[in-house]
Structure 1
């Protein structure tokens, strides 16, 4: 009986000891896990090796492809404006009418003079034809025949002059209707019906051609050599964007001025944009970006991956074991949202682009996004 009680007591003590050991082990494990930091969520991108077009960003403005100030080519009274101010006009469309009454009268007068001189020329030719044979028979004097010849030449010359006068009067009459020289947008009228206009003097309206349209901007002369090298490789694309807009416009460099402005140290350039969507209006400011040089076989990372310290710039590189290491880098030129790393990366590394504030060398991370760029 005593032996049974002893065995029972030993069994109870063993159970208590096992319980204490299990509790202590699990508590120590829980404390250990509680003190271990959680993985930090980060976003990453890859360092890329390849060619990079270095871009220059400047401010430019839209400029009409051509601007025409319409004037009358004849004197007269303005009788009608056949365009809507601010509206579109087509090439060849009649947009202004001048009173044609006086011009029509001048044409009619020229036609009358022509008809008269033509009749006199016919009469002179008839007389010369009639009296020339009589000269050999002695029926008319040589002086008379010479007079008939002179009259024929005189009237022939008059007919030519009259014909020219008719053509001039007809042309002048045509100028009573003014046609748009190009597809364009009309500005506000500078004179109104009833006003007297003078030939080649009175401005009537300004037309702006905006299909296509120019984007005008200037770059520092230090960028000119790289720009010319890029332009020599072919058509140079120019990207323009209206401030506040997310829509980029693709234009093409069309003009490089032939001299640098000595007062500003810049040179003017123009890019041509189709503007079929009427996104640009002359005088509007735009942000312009154009490639000025091409760098070969360079390593680039997103600008947001760069961090700064008193010792210089660095990035966090994610290693194969999921931990990050701080890597000091030497930063080169930038283009768009990427920057050249001239020293510190070989290309292909995963660099942290978001979440750096919680990191230090050796921190274990959890990648939540990898855009591969």
Structure 2
């Protein structure tokens, strides 16, 4: 009996020990990890531009310094600082009285010399009439002298034949000699009249030259008077006034002759530089047509679009860069002269590129990798080859296929094979139930976060947990 009780007691003790050891083994099992809340985005196949990024400076299309070309008191200012003006708009009025007096004096001199021209022309006409009369008298007297010469020869022959008296012949000879003397006198008179006409013509030419000089003085005086009203030479926007009403303006390009600077802001230039190594590529693509440029100013919601219109003719040897200019219509005036802007020069468009958000990329000892979300809601750390990163997107050369989902937020808490809980843009679970999720997490599957931070370059480690796991066969990413 005693032996039976002892056996039962031993069996109970053994069972109790076995139960205790089993309970201790179960208590040593690690607890199951909860799903890691993450944001994901779909891998996309799409066209993406090949761009060169740079910092540019906005330049006015035209800059005009408005200067006074005549001196005098600034009588009126017709515009305000910072006002839009058009070509031909009245800007300033300088005291015109001195210029008006100079114009009146020049006009009076011109009128006087016009009178001298008229007098010279009248004298010329009078002397031309005298020449005509002298030539007519010469022709008449030459005819009479010719007739008298014939008569003298006939009467001389008659005298030799003693058919007439000596007295008759002497009378005819005297008439002939008188007419010959008259012809000589007429010829001298014609020559004198012609000389007078030549002098009159010289006087007319001289008077006409004086008139031309007077007309030039009148034109100059009108121009000087016109300079007293200053108009805008271009469409643009005015700057600050350099001189105020009542100041004495000086001419001649001095500092106090500058009244205003006008900048043309529609269109505008954006000037930027790129490394000289990219010049052959730019020239090659530009040979196929114009190159588009985007310029984004700080605080603006969207960039302005323009085209490259200038490549400098030399590389800057100090910096090894080449200067380019792009022209923008600037219809909404979102670009302002002197402003710094982010410039994106588009060389070409790459079709069918594999693209992921840049914040999906992580860096390990073996290079870039991403966490790919599999169909069972676990992640795979997969190595990728990045062709280039442009803005918020990265072009993947190999390692991903369109339609796959990659993690864009929450990577520091992930390991190879970890379960994930995909969050929607509002922080709710994919099934519609709100979960805790990381603050500021991105979008759910198929969309990238609109307020994502730049991609991590170290992978990161969550407190109390391991870091990201590298793809199989690769060393873990460096922390």
Question: 1:155 offset after TM fit, Å?
Answer: 1.7
Q: Deviations over 1:20-64 (max 9, x none)?
A: xxxxxxxxxxx9xx9665554433323234543233332222222
Task: Describe the shift of the 1:49–1:225 C-alpha distance in structure 2 as closer, same or farther (beyond 3 A).
Answer: farther
- 2:224 alignment counterpart: 172
Secondary structure (helix, strand or coil) at the match of 2:66 reads strand
Secondary structure at 1:370 match in 2? coil
Aligned to 1:70: 66
Correspondence for 2:143? none
SS of the residue aligned with 2:341?
strand
Q: Distance in 1 between matches of 2:48 and 2:82?
A: 44
Structure 1 partner of 2:159 = none
Unaligned 5+ segments in structure 2 are: 1-26, 135-188, 424-443, 449-479
How many residues align? The count is 341
* TM score, norm. by length of structure 2: 0.64
Match of 2:446 in 1: 371
In 2: Cα distance, 1:233 partner to 1:147 partner: 74
Distance (whole Å) between structure 2 residues aligned to residue 165 and residue 131 of structure 1: 32
Instruction: Tell me which moved more, 62-71 or 348-357.
Output: 348-357
In structure 1, how many angstroms separate the alpha carbons of the residues matched to 2:445 and 2:286?
Answer: 35
Give me the whole-angstrom Cα distance separating, in 2, the residues matched to 1:135 and 1:232.
Answer: 78
Query: Hey, what does 1:103 align to over in structure 2?
Result: 99
Corresponding residue for residue 386 of structure 2: 331
- CA RMSD for the aligned pairs? 2.7
Per the alignment, residue 182 of structure 1 pairs with 234
Aligned: 1:260 with 2:320: no
Structure 1 residues 229 and 346: alpha-carbon distance in aligned structure 2, compared to 1, 3 A threshold: farther
Aligned: 1:61 with 2:54: no
CA distance in 2, matches of 1:244, 1:112: 64
Any stretches of 5+ residues in structure 1 without a counterpart?
1-30
Secondary structure class of the residue paired with 1:144? helix
Aligned to 2:248: 195
Distance 2:357 2:44 in 1: 9
* Structure label with greater radius of gyration: 2
1:180, distance to aligned residue in structure 2 (A): 0.7
Structure with greater contact order relative to length (CA < 8 Å, sep ≥ 6) = 1
- 8 Å CA contact retained: 1:314, 1:327: yes
- 1:323 CA drift (Å): 3.2
Within the candidate set 121, 124, 142, 1:125 is matched to 121
TM-score normalised by the chain length of structure 1: 0.81
Distance 1:196 1:338 in 2: 58
> For the Cα contact (< 8 Å) 2:68–2:249, is it kept in 1?
no
Of the structure 1 ranges 232-241 and 217-226, higher mean CA displacement relative to structure 2 is found in 232-241
Which residues of 2 match residues 308-323 of structure 1 at below 5 A?
308-323=363-378
Aligned mates of 2:371, 2:247 — CA distance in 1: 77
Q: Kindly indicate which of the two structures has a greater share of residues assigned to strand.
A: 1
Per the alignment, do residues 360 and 77 of structure 1 end up closer, same or farther by CA in structure 2, a change over 3 Å counting?
same
Matched, 1:237 2:292: yes
User: Judging changes above 3 Å, is the alpha-carbon distance between structure 1 residues 356 and 194 closer, same or farther for their aligned structure 2 residues?
Assistant: closer
How many Å apart are 1:182 and its aligned residue?
A: 0.9
- Report the secondary structure of 2:412's partner residue: helix
The equivalent residue for 2:209 is 157
For 1:246 and 1:152, locate their aligned partners in 2 and report how far apart those are by CA, in whole Å. Answer: 76
